Amino acid sequence: MMFILCLSILLSGLQVHCHHVPEQHKEQEHSGGKNRLEHQYQPPAEGQGTEATGYDKIVEENAEFAFRLYKLMASDTPPQNVFFSPLSISTAFAMLAMGAKAETHRQIFNGLGFNLSDTEENEIHRGFNLLIRTLNQPNNVTQTNIGNALFVEESSQLLPEFLNNVKTLYEAEAISTCFKNSAAAENEINEYVKDKTNGKITQAIQGLDPSTVMVLLNYIFFKASWEIPFNHVLTRETDFFVDAKTTVKVNMMYQKGSYNFLRDEDLSSWVVKVPYKGDSSAWFIMPDQGKLKAVEDGLSGEDFTKWNISAKYEKIELYIPKFSISGSYDVRGLLQRLGVNDVFTDYADLSGVTGQRNLKVSKAVHKAVLDVHEGGTEAAAVTVLEFQRTSAEFPLATIIKFNRPFIMAIANEQICHFIFIAKVMDPTAQ
């Protein structure tokens, strides 16, 4: 069977706060009945370009951003499941930052965890570019497809430089759209996302405002098989202890094999690394009874570095529940708590997009679905932005049973980057 994980959707709306859009040059190409907004970018010469700067420039900052965001989500919904894609969110807002100026520009990068005094902006964008192209390599055993798109109101004209940059560095395509017919535009965007995520995300946006002038989105599709598949014959129904008063029945997968694992006494947790075929792995972290909140508060990207060094590769008996969880989040509110404020107000300066200070983000929603079972993982995520006019030592065969709330993080080994993070409070909750 397949292990399915559906990645997150971020919906973020940008509103224009004046009625006049500056004249810009726009070239259109009719392809499949859609107008593609073209650019004049010339690719770098052989041996030059994004390869000169690695994604190591953004990995550490993105890891810390991922856990800061996770802690906010977990604190907002302590008794509930959590699932999201930090990579999808950071990619969408980093792309948006290419059109941001002044304080808006600074707040976005600070919110994402980047210090422009230490790292040049070009290095950040090139790091994202290399990360995208590395994940999209067709010969990867783990299938990961990540991409970006702009749906632009037919009457709006964006700066050629902005279009060039998002196309070149974020591999975004631009599609001319009639937002005045909001129902048709909503259907067009949802069908686009559904196609890009192999049907895992069917409703990226809902209730699209007719005054929308642009939608910016990021999507991720992820599919992988466990290096050692779980035998479905060995899956048994057993108890999962949600809390001291709540017990639910789950289908518990079982595997006796060798894994990298450890007991982290500092975090009072068991940690097991379960690899996929290829270059990705899932980390399962199970805090001791009553320690989940303390682990969430203390968890950081440095812990994963420590675990990679300290984990022992030994035989264990591993029990992990099959589960399907989902999440929906107001990302606007979360990012405002991280100091990203102006971009959501009339003070927003996104003049690098249209040439005028006439845009703001009006809506940011993140949706995600995760399905875990015996065979592997399939994932899909999308981040959408709407623009509108504004006004220790262990014996062999240690038994580790994930039968109480735990944290799961999926990381790509090649880029050392977290793609998904989940908290499983109740595997049976829909």
Contact present, 397 and 317 (Cβ < 8 Å): yes
Residue 289 has pLDDT above 50, yes or no: yes
Q: What is the pLDDT of residues 224-277, one digit of tens each?
A: 889 999 999 999 999 999 988 899 999 999 999 999 999 999 999 999 999 999
State how far the Cα of 351 lies from the Cα of 341, in Å rounded to an integer: 16
Higher pLDDT, 44 or 349: 349
Q: What is the pLDDT of residues 64-90, one digit of tens each?
A: 899 999 999 888 766 788 989 999 999
pLDDT-derived band at 48 (thresholds 50, 70, 90) equals: very low
Strand (E) or helix (H) holding 90: helix 86-97
Higher pLDDT, 412 or 237: 237
Per the listing, tokens 């999209």 go with 136
Residue 202 has pLDDT above 80, yes or no: yes
Q: For strand 5-16 and strand 376-389, is the pairing parallel, antiparallel, or unpaired?
A: parallel
Q: For strand 269-275 and strand 376-389, is the pairing parallel, antiparallel, or unpaired?
A: unpaired
State how far the Cα of 51 lies from the Cα of 17, in Å rounded to an integer: 39
pTM for the predicted model, two decimal places: 0.84
Residue 47 has pLDDT above 50, yes or no: no
For residue 30, the model assigns a pLDDT of 35
Q: What is the pLDDT of residues 181-193, one digit of tens each?
A: 999 999 999 999 8
Question: Of the segments 102-116, 141-155, 188-202, which one has the largest average pLDDT value?
Answer: 102-116
- Mean pLDDT across the stretch 138-147? 87
In this structure, what token pair is assigned to residue 9?
């959707």
| Side-chain half-sphere exposure of 196, counting CA atoms within 13 A | 25
For residue 53, the model assigns a pLDDT of 41
Residue 416 has pLDDT above 60, yes or no: yes
- Mean pLDDT across the stretch 91-117? 94
Q: Specify the 3-state DSSP secondary structure of 362.
A: strand
How far, rounded to the nearest angstrom, does the alpha carbon of residue 49 sit from its chain's CA centroid? 25
The DSSP-derived string for 240-259 is EE-SSS-EEEEEEEEEEEEE
Q: Name the residue among 311, 287, 365, 338 with its Cα closest to residue 64.
A: 338
- Mean pLDDT across the stretch 32-43? 37
Q: Specify the 3-state DSSP secondary structure of 381.
A: strand
Which has the minimum average pLDDT: 46-55, 202-211, 236-245, 259-268? 46-55
Higher pLDDT, 368 or 146: 146
Number of residues that this document lists for the chain: 430
Q: Give the CA dihedral 219, 345, 342, 53, nearest 10 degrees.
A: 20
Q: Which domains does the chain have, with CATH numbers?
A: 5-39+54-76+83-225+324-389 (3.30.497.10), 232-323+394-424 (2.30.39.10)
Tell me how far CA of residue 100 lies from CA of 96, 126, 213, in angstroms: 7, 17, 17
The residues facing 315 across adjacent strands are 258
DSSP state of 276: B
